[in-house]
Structure 1
């Protein structure tokens, strides 16, 4: 689990106003434990939103989830003296998540995204409740949130309920490396639980912050994966003496998808100065599709990534509550909590990441198959006595096969809930979790390609002929896994390399 951060280490501060949170700022909070504050303008909106709710309650108006039951029970009126208990009961009843806990990074993302959504001033939350949410984030109190159990509408009820229970001194949290009851965690951090008022439980859990938090992390990991895939392709082209003509800007301009040229331009830049790369007709007329079509296949995945990133950025700064307290005083019920925009985006990201791995595995086969590469079988120094990287290709094939199962769109499924009142749901949280699984698998495949390309370059003693940029990356790969001089177990190195590829962007 993440190590707690001291106040002295929190040198960076991110201001939340509900409208301008960026991926870079989210990473600062999630990874570097930057502190959060709510902007002054946001506090004004929060106070006004709360005032409107209290006025409506005092006037005896019927408002869903404020003085009525939830879901199919929305036609049950709640007495004024019980509106606080109604909100507490909501958290307790909805905390039904199961499975392994979400990692602390995802929980931190959930906390900041929920705080940012509440800062928009449409949810009717009290200032003290929102401040406690921010305090938990800043002091490293990470609620224990089971990973499974959300339908993705009405938002991420179960995960967010587990998150919110900490604020009332219930549930469990990780604090300073210990798993503690919520009340104990708050006390050790010098904080006190709140007693919920009208609508506050609903304001805390009716939203898409679990799927969006997972999705935001997945977007960054997928960005790093795509850059790694482009670099792996460069190493393979160096190893197999690929033809550069297929990456010509004049050629690609005849099919003007900008992502195709972005990939091709990156590869041309990274391969600049190589004495290994060939021209059309020099050694062969055409390369196989897995090399010749890199701009088209990688570029299409980048297109899908761009769509998914846009939807995540929008959702990071959106109100996903119900009902919503409008500035004109109306409190309207709608479907802003429905996760379909994120569900579709995450399903598309799953396919994009799976395709980076699919084409990479085909390049791996070209590297290890002597009939395709002209190199030593399976890149073994002593083939026959040694198997070389034969079974590394098996592992890559298994990973891409698993990804094909995971890539089935979660968003095409819907199971009605709440006695058919909530009769269409998104399954967006499932899609988001699966996207990270696929991305992790794809990173392992890309790592295997880099290892195979490195070995092929080693066997040809071609290091001095590489482009400066690919040679630099090759040296980094070899710090993790040196060239194989005999059969060696490399599973640990594959995993280390894959995690390193996801952690930072190749530039």
Structure 2
């Protein structure tokens, strides 16, 4: 199947564009239109003329940050961009994976093509060429305060262009200089301002936020279908998802979630089984649309903030190619992404808590309406030595607790840095990294709860308490997909390999969700 081609420099990019490029599902190419090329080159020419004329330009003829009053002699200006990259090469922590690193490159390119960074067209071509070749820098996760942008992590992008440090390439980790040889490329000599333009922006946090958005939306829809499965397994009251309830509290995302759960339960045509004996289910079932709906209703404004940042000139200083002015400001500040990420991790962690509570209902004989303790599938004589899903439920509680612990907003922990020049910073990259970690943990809770839901339905079916044909195609489909990776648990066995296989399917978005209204 031919890859989709995304032309950068002709139209704004979307979250889906970044995700597709990161996953190798789309090719990213640079616009070759004469108008676009001239826009980029005009800014570079203006900047070149200014520093050669002896004009003072921050980050070109001056030091950066608190050192901005220090003038740089003209003969040292070309060296400055290279040194800027080198002294920021101090990141620590885990290394971003190849997918994330590729997303970071694509997001930085999206900012630079605005034409306000004073860089050459050649640099954009080289960046696009390396993305196309599958080259991505090894970037440590830690070391950014989110203003001035993501200086330390983005220094690894600049280093890649000048042939330094290490990169991902063809499934391996290779020295950047070696990759340039393989691709028959000469490392770039960065021109004045180009090192700063590559580094002084919000591209790491924005890439993380885009990837997190995509994962959160998918997980939310999976969790709605899982809620329907669990409601069936618990003989729940389907009328809790009656559209009329949600029309009286008409948050559109919440209403859409309720509609999806009702459809998966076949509520519109269902006979009202078991409603006489239990008028109201516990909140973990009855209020699921209100919990999932918080994220559903937040996603539209989150998209707006992420895509606005993605398609912005988040740099300083800006070089206006239309007027020739150099504009000094703070577009590197990551406050919007920080707020989005802090809000996202809160909403997603609440989903982890919801799923953990649903799992607890399934294993508890006081709440599960006749299912065996811990969902054990063992025969009667083997029950004393089989414990079913006991440990997995404890594990899900641990993962949910860790996710909830991480909901403390990072954006309120500003620290004055860099000799009090950067005296108020966004911490947006920490917020975005937290959001990714909360998603990882919530995905773990999801796969554990999903296995428990499938076990519960099969236990009901084996006892003749439900018919598979009474379940909707959506529920049956998800159950069948799970069973390809993890069979019914009749006797205790290690579930880790199956959980990891399911996690892989979730993170690759391989579990199909036919019938879900986005």
Q: Which residue of 1 aligns with 2:330?
A: 335
Q: What does 1:411-426 align with in structure 2 at a 5 Å threshold?
A: 411-426=411-426
- Is 224-233 or 45-54 further displaced after alignment? 45-54
Counterpart of 2:450 in structure 1 is 450
CA distance in 1, matches of 2:11, 2:53: 31
Secondary structure at the counterpart of residue 93 of structure 2? strand
Say yes or no: does 1:32 pair with 2:24. yes
Checking the alignment, whether the CA contact within 8 Å between 2:410 and 2:431 is kept in structure 1 is yes
Which string of whole-angstrom CA distances, capped at 9 and with x for unpartnered residues, describes residues 242-295 of structure 1? Answer: 112221111111111111111011112222279987468433111110111011
Contact 1:33 1:138 in 2 (8 A): no
Mean CA deviation greater in 144-153 or 31-40 = 31-40
Q: Distance in 2 between matches of 1:277 and 1:345?
A: 42
Aligned to 2:507: 502
Once the 2 structures are TM-superposed, how far is the Cα of residue 464 of structure 1 from its aligned partner? Answer: 3.3
Which residue number in structure 1 is paired with residue 340 of structure 2?
Answer: 345
2:160 aligned to 158, 166, 175, which one? Answer: 166
CA contact (8 A) 2:5 2:28 kept: yes
RMSD of Structure 2 on Structure 1 (CA): 1.8
Any idea what SS the aligned residue of 2:23 has? Answer: helix
Structure 1: which 5+ runs fail to align? 1-8
Q: In 2 relative to 1, CA 33–377 (structure 1 residues): closer, same or farther, beyond 3 Å?
A: closer
| Distance verdict in 2 for CA 1:11–1:457, change over 3 Å | closer
Deviates more, 1:53-62 or 1:282-291: 53-62
Which residue of the partner structure matches residue 254 of structure 1? 248
Matched, 1:360 2:367: no
Partners of 1:13 and 1:197 in 2: CA distance = 30
**Ranges in structure 2 where 5+ consecutive residues have no aligned partner:** none
The change in CA–CA distance for 1:26 and 1:269 in structure 2 (over 3 A counts) is same
Counterpart-to-counterpart distance in 1, 2:291 and 2:28: 40
The answer to whether the aligner puts 1:376 opposite 2:372 as a matched pair is: yes
Q: Counterpart of 1:126? A: 120
In 2, distance between residues paired with 1:142 and 1:320? 21
Question: Structure 2 CA distance, aligned partners of 1:162 and 1:72?
Answer: 22
CA offsets, 1:215-266, max 9 Å, x none? Answer: 1111111111111111110110110111122211111111111111110111
- Aligned-partner Cα distance in 1 for 2:79–2:326: 21
* Cα contact 2:145–2:429 (8 A) shared by 1: yes
Q: Which residue of 2 aligns with 1:400?
A: 400
* C-alpha distance 372-393 of structure 1, shift in aligned 2 (>3 A): same
Paired positions, count = 499
Specify whether residues 78 and 277 from structure 1 end up closer, same or farther in structure 2 by C-alpha distance, changes over 3 A only.
farther
- The two structures have a TM-score, normalised by structure 1, of 0.95
Q: Deviations over 1:319-355 (max 9, x none)?
A: 1000011232111111100111101110111111111
Could you tell me how far 1:32 is from its partner in structure 2?
Answer: 2.0
Partner deviation per Cα, 1:132-161 (whole Å, 9 max, x = no partner): 111111112221111111111100101110
Give TM-score, length-normalised by structure 2: 0.93
1:304 Cα deviation from its structure 2 partner: 2.9
